[in-house]
Structure 1
């Protein structure tokens, strides 16, 4: 997903190998909806990550937007309020959101020389991409070590800039 696209309730992003899916869901008997990642091929929906777990929305008007600076914002479009944000601070030129087959949701800056792209496999990554993917596999440990103020609202999200 690029910064010119939005993810609305009913839309999903699927990892290249079809293992994970990002979208809006309603757990069990809850009246609220959430943005999350789940296993796509498991018959019982198994959610592995939730963005707005503390602030559910009770309608289908929410939208996920990727800003031109690379920040992910989840809006409750009923009143236009941001209910979750990745709080990225780095300015980007051409940010892209991609869901990988290991379940990681990654915002990266695309240019014509980037080896990462839809359809790329981890074994074909090289340079900074290989390091970024390796770092993201252990994201919870690194988040805990690098961000002492780690809180529940932004669980399992962190920033890593590699050059």
Structure 2
């Protein structure tokens, strides 16, 4: 399965989760669409489409009066999460969001084990900075097991991330 399809499956589960949260009055979180520029050529059947600009993150919203912003990432790697899966503009957006008192994080899914973890922005940022100082270019799976909250399915919620947001 391609990276895009794996990521889309996780996004779909989160979108379902967000629908449940909304119906229960727990949160209002929506998927941020990527703006596309489409060039139409009336003489040809082929149209060209490309992203208009870099997006922010996958999801934004509010829960219990607190703004939340996060991205969802999936990896096939069993032993670590590659930091190359995160773009500079995503780091910048999550940092700016957190500076405004929002809660910024990433949901990381290890596809083979079907495990999902909530990686806070502070945790992510420390690994990001170390990478640019010549450190690891990935976060070990063991770090997630020992330092991150595991996101489980419960109470009819596929990816219950809200239980870890204070």
TM over 0.5: no
| Greater share of helix | 2
TM-score between both structures, scaled by the size of structure 1: 0.28
Query: Which structure has the larger Rg over C-alpha atoms?
Result: 2
